[in-house]
Structure formats: structure tokens, C-alpha cells
Structure 1
Amino acid sequence: MKKDSIKLESFNGLKTYLISKASTDDKGNFKLQYSSADYGVGYLISSDNKPLFVILNGEDIEIKGVALGLPETIKILKGKENQWFEQYAKEQPKREQALNAWLYLEKLYKADSLFFLQTKPQKAIKEEKQRIKDEEQAFIDSLPIDSYVKWFLPIRKLVSTVSIIAQYRTEEIPNTIRAFRELDYSDVRLYKSGLFKEAIDNHFWLLENSGKPLDLAYDEMKISIDSMFINLVSDEKIFNEVTDHLFDLLERHSLFKASEYLALKILNENSCTLEADLAKQLETYRTMAKGNIAPDIVFNENTFFPAVKVDKLSDISNEYVIVVFGASWCPKCQEEVPNIAKLYDKWNQSGVEVVLVSLDENKDSFHEFVKDFPFISTCDYQKWDGKIVNDYYVFSTPTMFLLDGDRKIVLRPNSVKQMDAWVDWYLKK
């Protein structure tokens, strides 16, 4: 039999790490070790890269099967918690399938005139649904109170059924959101479970896709943010890890009201110290908030003036100025900034000037990038360390700030499309 390499890996919050590795012998046997520091969920993985998840609670585990990537062939010979985990993993999908089938029939019997008068089937469906739920709960209740798997299984179900609940079991949305809010993100069991990232992502995905208007969804997100950080202030490392991930998640989904709320909440939290890069990202929402006065920009010798030359941003006489931070090495900027150039005449005729602050690092790249742009372009070749970038707390490109004639921040457009819509709506003649 061909030898294979087997690794045992586990989770630390958003990251994974290697616990140990070994090679199989001629008969396919292998032995791996783990310690109490690895308490939680781990996974065995071979050359086929298909993991087999195991509970690492200190017990000896013995498994037998054809291949790790074929879970249907795997049998847990030793390790009580892993045997319970295996049993649940085999039985619960069948219960979920049956429950979804009964839910479909229940809706059919309630909504279709052909069936809604049939009360006996409706009663039987309701009873069978409850029996399935009771059966699952009875299994969970039968597990020892101090077992890891007793805690883990309900959390695993919570994060894995979100999309089904959002689509087919919408009546369960309020209770599901409540369950997410009750999670303790400082709990080492969650941190080591492999569910840490999913719990954050699926929680806010459900809030975003719960069917509520976006303004109401934002209100719900604020409540969820508050509930998440109640316990996180007790662990500075996890506090920073969750903040960084959640802020990035909200930004990527263009949920800017929620990311602004998170930023201001964290910046006002005095019991934990923020990592420097994260603090810079969040500070932009406080210092560069709508209504604040943006710093002036002094144009250096590395500035292109296609029309009238000015010494600084405050010398521009237009009613509005949009300051755009971008770079030739930024793929999104290569798409968005040329689109600004195409819209420049329209915007300029409506009273908007454009200033591009490039984060390029050398003269040739900068000149090649901006040579055909019809607006002011400047660069100090210091990338993220430049004075303008730091004055505006820029942490990603492209970033845009719309300023009025007094340099008051009017809008932080998240795209050229949004900026163009603002011009059409507010400056139409």
C-alpha cells in the first residue's frame, strides 16, 4: 500500500495551525498526538485534502476506515465524544431533510384550497415536526453536561442552517438572530471550534438578508454589534481579531452605516488597546466623518495641472471637490479612475472638481497612470506613508471624499456610480 502523509490541524479563531503530522505505514496505520492546548475541534487531512473533523477533548481517539475523504467508511472505535459526534453527524442530516419536507407539506396544506380543509393531515404534520425536534433535543440532553460536543452541536447547527432558515423557515429568523447574539466570542470553546468565522459571517448575512428594509437591518446590526462586544472587552487579542474581521466584512458588503457604528463604538472603548493598523482604519470614521472639515492639501512639484494651476486644495474655486485616492497598482482603481475621467466634463459643468492623490511609488508609474486624466493629479511617492494619505486616514484604494467649498465632508462615495448618481440628483440643472 502506498504511504500517505496525514496531518492533524486545529483552529485558533480565524486561523488554522498544525498540531502534528505522520506518515502511514505499509498497512495504512498512523498515530498522531495532541495536547490540552488543542482542546476544541481539529481535523485530520491526507493528500486528498478532504478533512475529517474530530473532537479534541483530551480523550484517545481510534478510527478505522478506507480513507479520510470517505466519511461514510469511517468508524470511530474509541473516544466517546467523537462517537457521539459521529452519531449526530449521520442522523441529523436525515432529520433536517425530513423536517424540511414536512415544512413544505405544511405550507401546502395551509395555503392551497385543495388541502387547507384537511385538518387531520395538518395536525399529523405538526406532531411529526415536533417529534423530530424533540428527538434531536433528547439526544443533546442525553450528553454529559461538561462534554465539549454537548456545547458544540447546537452551535454547529446554528451556523450551518442560516441559509435554509432565511429561504424556507423565515419564522425562525428572530430566534436564530437571538441565538447568535447570545454567543460569547471570548469563549475558548468557540475560538477553537472552527465555527468562529462562520458565526460572525452568518450572523450578519442573516441580518442583511432577513427581509427587512436596510434601515431596519442597520438597527438590528447595531444591536448585534453591542451584544458581541459585551464579553470581548475581557480579551484584548480576540477583541482586535473580531473587530478587524467584522469591520472588513461590513465594508466588503457596503454596509457602511454598520461599519461606521462599529468604528465609533470601538474607538470609544477604553478598556482594550487597538492594534495600530486597525486603529487607523477605524479612525477615518471619526476624523473623516460627514460634516467634518477635511485637511488642506498642498500640491507639490509632482502634480499635474491640466487646466489652472493652484497651490493647494483650498484655492480651488469650484462649489465641490471630490478627492480620490488611488494607484496604478490597484486593480479596482484601474477600472474606477478612468470612469471618473469619462464623467469629468459632466461633473465639472455641474460645479465639481476632481483631485486624484496617487499612492504610486515611482515617477514613471505615476506619470503613465495619470497622463491622460483631465483633472489634478498629485503624488509624493510614499505610498501609505505619505502625509496626505495619513491626514485623510486612508487605508484602502480607491477611497473618495466629496467636499464642499469650505472643505466640509459632504459624502464618502463608495463607488463612481454612487458619486455620479449624487451629481444627477443634487446638482441637476
Structure 2
Amino acid sequence: MKKLLIICSVIMSASFFSQFTVAVDLPAYYSDSDIYLYGFNGSKEILYSKAKTSNNKAIFKVDKKYIGMMRAFFQKNNSSVNMVSENKNIEFTLKLDDKNKISDAIFNDQTNQIFSKEVDLEKKKDLILPALIQIKDYYNPNDGFYKSLEGEIALLSQKGNTLANANHPFLSYYQQNQRFSNQENASQLKQEDYLNFFSKSSEYLETSLLLKPSLINYLNASKSNVEGAVDKLLETVNIETPRGQTILSELIDIFNTYNMDKLKDKYLTKANNLKCTINDRLASTLKSNNSTSIGQKMPNAIFVNPIHTKAKSLYDIKSSKKIVVFWSSTCSHCEAELPKILEKYEKLKAQNIAVVGFSLDSNLDEFRSKANNYPWISDSEGKGWYSSYGETYNINATPTYFILDADNKIISKPNHVADVLEYLKVN
């Protein structure tokens, strides 16, 4: 009995240890600020750990096995660093420029050293290689500079370090399959290439950040019959499987972002009609779409940093109708559209129509500076696209509008400010 108890104790103790840690050496600028570590399920970010800086260091403890792309998000200056996890400890040092923007992340582990070099190489390929090829034609092949140009062109033209990546399976997968997410290569791929990629890829597909851009390229390559291409894709991957449901979820989000309402409604209905067990990714998409569809009562929002109100929540605001707009101070479309609401604001007030703005700013000072230009109620969590708004209200772009009735029921979801004013008959 004692032996069994000892074994159980060891197992329970082991469960408290993390799978791996991510340790970051930080400048003093980040003192006492929160930092978040995310993994991925398709394009959806999953919070794996949160850390607060102490003595210029932050340590994330990850208690689940994870292989794939990760992102450390630094809320204080709305910056992030991408890295690769092989379910092993990661260490890096963060450097800032004189404006407190991230200038470099220096990794100690081999995996991320290789990844960083390949990212730099890809940037040079995009920015420098075309210019070098053109410049070369102006020099004599016998010139030393010509030969130097040839050497640099050859270096930038080579593929990634496949020999090194043989010991790093995820890096190898990422390198080999970037062509599906690269827009320039999309036209060279056949539909069958995409279908094989989506259906036969390893589990790395979901954590690679390649899925969403590859799906967009697949849709663009199928412009003549997008609906037919989607049907064929979903049949190939089988939407009763976790892979199929994740792809279905991504497609619904893409159609929602690009206002492809007919396709979004078709595949949302298909997802709602599934009789099998639903994975977390699709369940989240269904919840956010269904709870913000026309006719539903909009989920309440508890204010955290409100401006121009003493109300505690969205439901506390009493009016015949509400315009709810999700926006950001850095959004150019918001910059163009919100002043048009301001022009009609007195007429809206006269009709007992309230305006409530929820900002996806990550900097609360910038939010307040911009929001104070508008007389209506505004609020922000100060977490940018990491705010709860995205998942709760299915926000994929700004500005996004909802019109609510007196009982907070959604009666319209206009695409543009002109549609808002037309619906409310405000001239």
C-alpha cells in the first residue's frame, strides 16, 4: 500500500511541473507589465501562459505539450515576437529601439536561431533580391563586383537549411509548405495540390499559422466557382473530423471578414446541423456567430475603462435603439466613417438613439485621446485584438456595426456607416 501511495504521489507531483518554459530577458521599460504567451489552433490564438516582469525577466510556464508557432505579446507597447516551440525550453533577449519598439529578439536555442535566420532570409528575398538581379545587368561579368552580386543572389535564392531542419521536424514542415500560404506561388498550384495539403498534412498544420492564408489562396484560385471549391474541400477533409471542423471554422470566419454573407450563412447552417461531436474551435465559432445573429439579444458588456458615462454595462444604457460600433484609433476606415456618425449625432440623440463604441486599441492613452473627440459612450479593454470583444461578438475587422432595439436585441448588422444611417432613416 505504501508503495502504491508513493507512486501516486510522484505522478501527482509530476503533473504540477511544466512541459517547458519560455524565459525572456527584458529592458527595464517593461517593468511590472503583463506579457502573454499564445499558441495557435489555425488562426485562432490560444492563451497558454501569462507572466509579469520581475527583475527585468519574464518566465512563462507551459503545462501542455505544444509543437508549433507561438507568440509572446507585450501589451505595454502593442508588440509581439513569434517563435517556434518544440516542446522544449526557450530563452531569448528582447532589444528595443529609442522609441521603445522591438528592434530584435536574440534566441539562445538552435530551433529559433534557425527560424530567425530563415525569416531574415525571406525578408531579404522579398526586398533585396529583385533589385540585385536588375543591378547585375549593368556590370561586366569580369568585374569583381559582378561576381560579388552573383554570390549574393545565389545565397538569397537558395532554399532553407534543410540539413539543419532534418533534426527539427516542425521547421522542416513549415519550410516545405510555405508555398501554399505565399500569395505569389498560389497561381502555380493546382486544386489537387491544395486538397492534398489540407487533408494529408500532419497535426503541424493547425499550429503552423499556414492554414488561413492557404485557405484564402485556395479560394482566390477558385474564383470561377468558390462555392463548388469549398464543397469539394469540405468533402475531402470530412467535416465530422477535427481537421475538417477547424477548416470549416476558418472558412466561416473568412466569409464573415470579407462580407461574403451568402456563403457564411450556408456553411454556418451546415455547421449548426452537424450531429457529431464538435471540437472546441468550431464550437467557439458557432457560439460567437449564433449569439450575434439578427434576432438574438446581444451579449452584455461590462465596462472597464468607460468614457462619457456612469453606466456600468451596455445593458444599463436605456434608449429606443443603440448603435454599437467596434473600432480602433489606428483604423483608417474608422477614421473615415466615425465622423459621419458625429455629423448626425444630434439627430440620433433627438430620436433617443444611443451610440456606444468599443475600441480594440491596445494603448489606453491613444484610445482616450481619440475617443474624447466623440461625445458618445466609449470603452476599451486596452488589449487590442487580444480583447474579449473578438470572440464574444465575432469581430474580425473594424469598424463593425450592430443596431440594437430597446431590449438589446440585434435588429441589423450594417456593413458600412452609410448603411447604419440609412437603416435608421437619419438624413
* TM band (smaller chain): 0.3 to 0.5
Higher strand share: 2
TM, length-normalised to structure 2 = 0.47
Which of structures 1 and 2 has the bigger CA Rg?
1
TM, length-normalised to structure 1 = 0.47
